[in-house]
Amino acid sequence: MNLKEYNDIVSTIKNFKGLTINCLKKLVTEFPSQSYDTLYSILQFEFQKRMKINHPKTQSNKQIFWDSYQESVAQEEPSGIIVRIAEKFDVAPCLVAKIILNKHFEQMGNEQTDIACNINIYMRDTALITDPKLAYEVFLCTLYDNVYSPITDVMKSSLGQQYEIKLYREATQLGLGFRDEEQLRKHGYDKTPDCKLEVPISINGFVINWIESKALFGDPEIHKEYMKNQYLSYWNRFGPGLVIYWFGFLDTILKTNDKRYIIRDHLPKNFVQIPPPNFDL
């Protein structure tokens, strides 16, 4: 993706106030040339950055959220109270729900507060919340929040596994011999790429020893973080490799003179095995 279109997408996200599910609908409409997964990946990362920046303000509004919720319940407002509070204050619904849950357990006394130390348990299974009204309100938050919801966490994990399987399937179809992450760990490797080739390949003259699959969009910050924590370790241990950002990447992260890895949004088919199959040893 070129820098201008990326900046336009990010600008649209930054200027949008409200629920991320509505922001995603706007992005899909305004940027039809980009896939849903690409736009969703960019939205998730940008909104997470916004929430980190606004965290102190969100924490200072804890009592306001709680008072607003109690007042709305007392007035018998229709369901979706916490979602509307989140939309009004431009905060992720599940983050507001956690704050209100904490306040709820504080009101119940220390014994219940101890039980509620891990609020995520109640977010994952709202049936554990004894207050039926609050349980339903929190449940709605998990449906309307496509960034911080436990449902989203499961979907992201599943999506990552799906694209790893896609990589293995395509590599197998292309006749590449490889060991996957699980096999490498059995051999004592701690930091492992998704795919370590048994026989290196060459893509446009660049030697590939390993392949890493990322079911997301590669922007400079994400790429820098993964490079520091993963890619450099792979390069030090196995030599140069290939990073696949399945949902695309910003053109500016490409470094033509980088000898450690190349970046693509697919598994290239125009490769040469090293040595070639008919190589006479």
pLDDT digits (tens, 9 = 90+) for 111-137: 555 554 588 899 999 999 999 999 999
pLDDT at 110 over 70: no
pLDDT at 235 over 60: yes
pLDDT bucket at 191, cuts 50 / 70 / 90: confident
What region does 196 belong to: left with phi over 0, alpha with psi -120 to 50, or beta? beta
The one-letter amino acid at 242: L
Give the three-class secondary structure for 12: helix
Provide the pLDDT for residue 185: 80
> Which residues, in sequence order, are bridge partners of residue 264?
244
pTM: 0.90
Q: Which long-range contacts (CB under 8 A, 24 or more apart) does 126-134 make?
A: 129/101, 131/104, 133/73, 134/100, 134/101, 134/104
Give the burial string for 69-101 (b: 16+ CB within 10 Å, else e).
Answer: beebeeeeeeebbbbbbbbebbbbbbbbbbbbb
Provide the pLDDT for residue 148: 96
CA distance 172 to 148: 35
pLDDT bucket at 281, cuts 50 / 70 / 90: very low
pLDDT bucket at 22, cuts 50 / 70 / 90: very high
Q: At what angle are helices 150-173 and 132-144 packed, to 10 degrees?
A: 40
